[in-house]
């Protein structure tokens, strides 16, 4: 049985030949402000020669350069470029670190542990990966049926927490809909079954920092940052507005800069939504 383990920092997904994770971030695969830089998944375990893992750089500023701590092809190889590359395991056991460097020389990395598959026999039904952690709503994981016999049927324990792309076939995509751990079950036509535990931790509450600020009436500025929620943010003013924000409202991203109108003593209320909930910050003038 092939086994892959992922850190709780990212959503994980895997296949026997390809492992793929879809992070909870902007659809362009990066953070437009460049203030975040990480690799997802940040760790994984590959148990057989030829197993492959797709790695994605989140944030950072392009161009990106990918390197391996152990460049011996007997350990593993990298292919691809840009924000997504594929690591293919070689025959050697051990640990290999995949590092990516952006144009500012910021670095992020993922650790690949290569162990021997101790499973005996090839007919027992199995699923790859054997576990997954999806940290945010809309994160996805790909699951692959291994061995077994005949047709495959997939079910989930709680359809309120997530949904499947299909109920039959060798491969399915599971999508997280809300917090709460779930269980995926695979059955084959011979009656065998196996289960996968999917961890879905609670999403942190949406919050703005600072929650209140005082700025000068002479074009005073203040940076506001949002955290928690679903990770997809939109900023705006609760009208009327007595200042501007950069980027202009409605603004997307994890932070904005508030700029006071010159000579305007009235305060403002800034609001940010993730599509599920809304958080607020107040601005006073001095």
pLDDT tens track of the chain, all 286 residues?
Answer: 333 333 333 333 333 333 333 333 333 344 444 468 999 888 888 877 788 888 999 988 999 999 999 988 888 999 999 999 999 998 888 889 999 999 999 999 999 988 765 443 335 788 888 889 998 888 899 998 887 777 899 999 999 999 999 999 989 999 999 889 999 999 988 788 899 999 999 878 899 999 999 999 999 999 999 998 877 899 999 999 999 999 999 999 999 999 999 999 999 999 999 988 999 999 999 9
Task: Give the C-alpha separation, 213 to 283, whole Å.
Answer: 5
Residue 220: what pLDDT?
94
Q: What domains can be seen in the chain, in order of their start residue?
A: 21-199 (2.60.40.10), 207-285 (2.60.40.10)
Residue 123: what pLDDT?
52
Residue 116: what pLDDT?
67
Number of residues that this document lists for the chain: 286
Question: Nearest 5 degrees, angle CA 131-CA 134-CA 140?
Answer: 95
Counting beta carbons within 10 angstroms of the beta carbon of residue 171, is it exposed (0 to 12), middle (13 to 18) or buried (19 or more)? middle
Burial string for 122-142 (b: 16+ CB within 10 Å, else e) reads eeebbbbbbbbbbbbbebbbb
């Amino acid at each position: 049985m092939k086994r892959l383990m992922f850190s709780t920092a990212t959503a994980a997904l895997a296949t026997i030949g390809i492992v793929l994770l879809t992070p909870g971030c902007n659809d362009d695969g990066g953070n437009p402000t460049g203030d975040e830089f990480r690799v997802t998944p940040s760790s994984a375990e590959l148990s057989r020669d030829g197993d492959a893992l797709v790695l994605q750089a989140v944030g950072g500023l392009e161009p990106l350069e990918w390197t391996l701590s152990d460049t011996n092809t007997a350990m593993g190889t990298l292919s691809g470029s840009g924000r997504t590359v594929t690591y293919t395991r070689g025959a050697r056991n051990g640990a290999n670190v995949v590092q990516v460097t952006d144009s500012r020389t910021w670095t992020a990395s993922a650790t690949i542990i290569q162990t021997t598959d101790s499973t005996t026999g090839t007919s027992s039904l199995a699923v790859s990966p054997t576990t997954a952690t999806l940290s945010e709503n809309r994160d996805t994981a790909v699951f692959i049926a291994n061995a077994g016999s005949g047709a495959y049927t997939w079910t989930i324990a709680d359809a309120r927490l997530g949904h499947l792309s299909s109920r039959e076939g060798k491969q399915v995509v599971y999508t997280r809909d809300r917090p709460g751990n779930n269980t995926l079950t695979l059955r084959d036509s011979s009656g065998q079954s196996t289960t996968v535990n999917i961890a879905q931790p609670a999403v942190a509450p949406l919050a703005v920092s600072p929650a209140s600020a005082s700025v000068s009436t002479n074009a005073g500025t203040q940076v506001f940052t949002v955290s928690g929620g679903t990770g997809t943010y939109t900023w705006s003013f609760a009208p009327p507005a007595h200042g501007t924000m950069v980027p202009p409202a409605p603004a997307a991203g994890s932070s904005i800069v508030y700029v006071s109108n010159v000579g305007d003593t009235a305060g403002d209320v800034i609001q940010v939504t993730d599509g599920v909930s809304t958080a607020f910050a107040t601005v006073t003038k001095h």
